[in-house]
């Protein structure tokens, strides 16, 4: 189910509904999330960069926070670290969400 839904939910133009559905889906994805992490994060960051709709940006913020909180295996963390190292856009974007990573580790 996960590989079938992801392309639909990250398609552009992204809707608020799709961003919220994605936020819910990633919380139950488990290890399957690691295999799709690059695609999902890329799509979310692209929408954050291009779209100015406040409601959509808020829904994407929720999706990113849910995504980061759902990375639970070394493969996913390694992928995230590689993304941050490869792309200035991802690195700058990650600064915005560092508090999410740190707060999730304290819970």
pLDDT band for position 82 (50/70/90)? confident
Global pTM? 0.77
The share of the chain scoring above pLDDT 70, in percent, equals 77
Which range is most confident: 70-74, 92-96, 98-102?
Answer: 70-74
pLDDT, position 92: 62
How many other CB atoms sit within 10 Å of the CB of residue 71?
20
More confident residue, 30 or 88: 30
The total number of structural domains that make up the chain? 1
CA 6 to chain centre: 11
Domain containing 51 equals 2-106
101 burial level (CB within 10 Å; 0-12, 13-18, 19+) = middle
Which ranges of 1-87 would DSSP assign to H, the alpha helix?
A: 2-9, 16-26, 32-50, 54-70, 74-86
pLDDT band for position 72 (50/70/90)? confident
Q: Taking 70 as the threshold, does the pLDDT of residue 8 lie above it?
A: yes
9-27 mean pLDDT: 95
- Span 47-64, pLDDT tens digits: 988 888 999 999 998 998
């Amino acid at each position: 189910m996960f590989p079938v839904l992801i392309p639909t939910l990250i398609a552009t133009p992204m809707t608020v509904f799709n961003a919220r559905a994605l936020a819910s889906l990633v919380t139950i994805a488990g290890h399957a999330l690691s295999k799709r992490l690059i695609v999902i994060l890329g799509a979310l960051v692209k929408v954050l960069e291009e779209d100015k709709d406040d409601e959509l940006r808020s829904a994407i913020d929720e999706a990113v926070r849910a995504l980061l909180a759902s990375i639970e295996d070394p493969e996913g963390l390694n992928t995230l670290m590689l993304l941050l190292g490869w792309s200035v856009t991802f690195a700058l974007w990650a600064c915005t969400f560092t508090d999410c990573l740190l707060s999730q580790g304290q819970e």
